[in-house]
Amino acid sequence: MAESEVSEFPFRAPRLSLLVLFWHPVVNALSAFNWLFFVSDETNLLGSQLSRAHIAFNVIGALTYLLISAVLIFWPYRFGAFMLGKTRRNRLVLGAILVYFTHILPCWMIEFSIIWNYGWFTVVQGTSFILLTMSFLVETLVVWLGYVWQMAGFMQQNYGNTVFGRGSSTK
């Protein structure tokens, strides 16, 4: 195979921001279907408070995604060529973090408690739980790494080498 054939290969993998942009509505929709077809029908078993919390976090998560997170996630995709890599990363991660705390984490905890306490009942419930678990695992890692990254920079900036005895700024 000639070198020119390799460089003209038309396949280009989708950007991470597009994957994240379309992943969250799918997870939110399946979580809403889970509420509609299972959680709302089983208030005798689960209680009305759990059902209300589930739909509340679905609505809060959907609104947060539609009004804030989708913009933050789409921005680096659309105008990434004009941004620094750090800016693209920070906007994408911030959009994902907002969805994580307003939808993924609370809904995963609710659905995990349902499965743990009452078992697996429907295919929609199982599919919703599996997708929420995948999102929970990946985004927990993203949130944790983002936190560690920011805190390491903060510690270095405020308590760098001089404070811990490797040098002296007063000498």
**pLDDT tens for residues 41-88?**
888 888 889 889 999 999 999 999 999 999 998 888 888 778 888 888
Identity at 58, one-letter amino acid code: N
pLDDT at 131 over 90: yes
Q: CA distances (Å), 155 to each of 29, 53, 90, 159, 170, in order?
A: 40, 38, 19, 5, 19
What is the percent of the chain where pLDDT is above 70? 85
Question: What integer pLDDT is reported at residue 7 of this predicted model?
Answer: 52
How far are the Cα atoms of 39, 42, 55, 115, 143 from residue 30, in angstroms, in the given order?
12, 17, 12, 16, 23
pLDDT for 103 equals 94
Residue 163 pLDDT class (50, 70, 90 cuts): low
Q: Give the per-residue pLDDT at 93.
A: 86
The pLDDT score that the predictor gives to residue 127 is 92
- Which single residue is written with the structure tokens 């509420």? 35
- The whole-number pLDDT of residue 171 equals 45
Rounded to an integer, what is the distance from CA 155 to the centroid of its chain? 26
Structure tokens belonging to residue 87:
């800016």
Work out the average pLDDT over 101-121: 92
pLDDT for 89: 82
The pLDDT of 34-46, averaged and rounded, is: 85
As given in the structure block, the two tokens for residue 160 are 């760098």
Residues 6+ apart with CB under 8 A from 93: 142, 146
Average pLDDT over every residue of 104-130: 91
Planar angle of CA 123, 129, 133, nearest 5 degrees: 150
Is residue 87 within 8 Å of residue 46, measured between CB atoms?
no
Token output for 157: 């900036």
Is the model's pLDDT at 13 over the cut of 80? no
